[in-house]
Amino acid sequence: MPARVDLCAGAVERIEETATSRILFTRRHVFKLRRPLRWPPYLDYSTPLRRWQAANREHERSRRFAPELYQAVVWLRPAGEERADAAVCMARLPPGYDTLLRHLRRDDGVAPRDGRLLEALLDLFERLHAVTRVVDLGVTEHVDVASRFSIVCAESRGLGVGWGSALRRLARCFPTAYNGWADARSASGLVRELHGDLHTDNVLTDGRRYLPFDSSDFEERFVVGDVALDLGFLLADLFALGRLRAGDPHLDEVVRRTATPLRLLLPMVVYGLLNRTNVLASRTETRELGTVYLRSAEQLAADWLQRYGPGAA
């Protein structure tokens, strides 16, 4: 790809908008442009240079997971716009591919309804973390579990998203519980680079292949940690859509294959649900859907507290 791409009139067949990006679909390519915004402490797209840096971080991280998808970072000037801006350029996949979340919400039969879906997602999770590097949190700047919950809580307050008592209690007591497992998790190679945003709307599939994309472009301190963070994001949509619940026997296979006990996994799913809640609540057209994710997070937090919280039998 050239360093600069000028799109002619009519080249863009479809445009999709997200909370942070504008996605342009042409016949052969998909271009992702970042909006000029700031969401402290996660992201800063306020200048062309910062958008270029963020685009390069996404490209470098994501092409390891989906090399057939990620092609380059370019300066893109859509038809009718005066200036070019940084864009991630991806190959446009054949018809039939869509995000897994859209397939799930349409219930179109592409995503299986039984344990085969979890099996496919666990295969994806294992492939992804086969190419990430182990990190030593003792020498690597990172955002710990307590800080992650504090940040997402502050973000919820800013968006007017209220947490119930179960969520507040889990956010207070789970980080302390996690600290008791952290050394063992690290010694087992389970503290690594992360995808950082591995929900099912960032997985493309045609029912046969599952391709993760849109790795987090945040600073490195946000994208290193326990792999259970990625796993929690990956399962969050399934809980919100009623495809999984705390007592589901299929979770036994998740525990076995990922070496992540339920007492650790479920709060990470709650964290994933809360992040999704906030993203959805940030836009008027998706705010109502965000309440579905919030209710799921509240229920799962209550289940965890009953099973594993202070004073649990």
Q: What's the whole-model pTM score?
A: 0.94
List C-alpha distances in Å: 87 to 164, 168, 187, 207, 237: 39, 39, 38, 28, 28
Instruction: State the distance between the two ends of the chain, measured CA to CA, in whole angstroms.
Output: 60
- The class (CATH top level) of 98-308 is alpha beta
Identify the CA nearest to 260 among candidates 235, 284, 281, 293.
Answer: 235
Cβ neighbours of residue 135 closer than 8 Å, sequence gap 6 or more? 142, 191, 192, 193, 224
- Higher pLDDT among residues 27 and 2, named by residue: 27
Lowest mean pLDDT among 102-116, 141-155, 265-279: 102-116
Q: Compute the average pLDDT of residues 3-30.
A: 93
Give the model confidence (pLDDT) of 156-211 as tens digits.
999 999 999 999 999 999 999 999 999 999 999 999 999 999 999 999 999 999 99
Q: Compute the average pLDDT of residues 2-30.
A: 92
What pLDDT is recorded for position 1? 54
User: Is 70 exceeded by the pLDDT of residue 2?
Assistant: no
User: Where along the chain do its domains lie?
Assistant: 4-91, 98-308
At residue 83 the predicted structure's pLDDT band, cuts being 50, 70 and 90, is very high
The CATH number corresponding to 4-91 among 1.10.10, 3.40.50, 3.30.200, 1.10.3210 equals 3.30.200
Q: Over pLDDT 70: what percentage of the chain?
A: 99
Q: Compute the average pLDDT of residues 257-262.
A: 97
What pLDDT is recorded for position 313? 60
The tokens of 214 are what? 């849109």
Q: Compute the average pLDDT of residues 81-97.
A: 95
Largest CA distance in the chain: 66
Strand 38-39 and strand 70-77: the pairing is unpaired
The tokens of 66 are what? 């989906």
Identify the CA nearest to 164 among candidates 311, 300, 310.
Answer: 300
